[in-house]
Amino acid sequence: MHKTTWVELNSKALRHNANTVRRLAPHAAILAMVKANGYGHGAEWVAEQLHDIVDGFAVARPSEAFSLRSVRPQDRILLLGTEINEALLRDCAAHRLDLVIHDIDTARLLANTTLSKSVTVWLKMNTGMNRLGMSPADFTEAHHLLSTQGHIAAIHHMSHFSDAETADASITQAQYQTLTALSSSLGDVPLSMANSAAIIAHPSTHLNWVRPGIMLYGDDPTCTLPSNQSLQAVMSFKAKVLAVRDIELGEGVGYNRRWRATRKARIATIAAGYADGYPRQALDGTPVLINDQRAVLAGRVSMDLLTVDVSHLPHVKAGDTATLWGDKLSAAEVGQHCNTISYELFTRITQRVERFYLPN
């Protein structure tokens, strides 16, 4: 098949990363984050690769949950914090979805809604992120209210760390103590707080359920994993070199000629741009691999093309393969040059980019 701009998705790397989670948190169940279409990797594909390693999956939108349920009829699926009404509660029950309850009004609505099947709820407490989650008083009220309802199959308690990737552990420990202290006063309830960063850097916070996200896809947000436990890139974003040209001292490249040659130079034009998901804000000097050798961006990213200085790579030619991020060039490193993070790079890949799933 003809390929111009594509991503390769490595199931062996994905499973390696999930097994790394299992090694790091051997006593916790694993709820794999597959929201945003599996961080841009394909939620259904991720679930198919990991269903025998992890204990469930989590998504952020009802449409994601219903789509995943259609292909994973038996797996635990948690719908994270979203707008909830009576119709959605009934749909969640019918599709056997676990449900995050993040405010007292929704807890009251759930208590007063007749459901066809009982549901498992995860009560979310705000411990400092200040996005979603209940105050201690509302959390306590919600727990007591729902624990008496016959259509509630089980209750879990959860929160979300705001600073788990930072070297200072004091905020993470304070947030952990806030949830666990209140939860213990309400009984013996399964608990979940640890995201990828906490799984790696704060093993005391693993509790009953861990919720890995970005680490499943190959990025260590703490940059602390030893080499023998390193994660592997699941996505490699690649494109063909379309042209190579020589330019003279002082000539510019691309829109507004942002990059200008300070010497005679060779410029490779690559078939990827912001319409494919490559960040338009990428700065000159952003690394690119061509035939596994490093080069750097030279000029503004346009809709379909980007340009790279290959003056030091005399053998680069049209038809060669460029890797924009992947196994030997991390998305995290590229993100540092673009004032963003790997999460955004992964999720912004557009539909026109072909996807190839590598065999195990």
Q: Tell me the catalytic residues.
A: 35, 255
Residues whose CB is less than 8 angstroms from the CB of residue 174 and which lie 6 or more positions away in sequence, other chains included: 127, 128
Q: One-letter amino acid identity for 296?
A: V
Give the separation between CA 142 and CA 148, rounded to whole angstroms.
10
Helices (DSSP H) in the chain: which residue ranges?
A: 11-24, 35-39, 43-50, 62-71, 86-94, 104-111, 136-146, 170-185, 196-201, 331-337, 342-347
User: In this structure, is the dihedral angle defined by the CA atoms of residues 173, 174, 178 and 184, taken in order, positive or negative?
Assistant: positive
Closest CA to 164 of 152, 155, 173: 173
In this structure, what are the phi and psi dihedrals at residue 180, rounded to the nearest 5 degrees? Answer: -65, -35
182 and 125 Cβ atoms separated by less than 8 Å: yes
Burial of 52 from C-beta contacts in 10 A (0-12 / 13-18 / 19+):
exposed
Angle of CA points 29, 145, 140, to nearest 5°: 70
Q: Given the structure tokens 């989650």, which residue do they identify?
A: 133
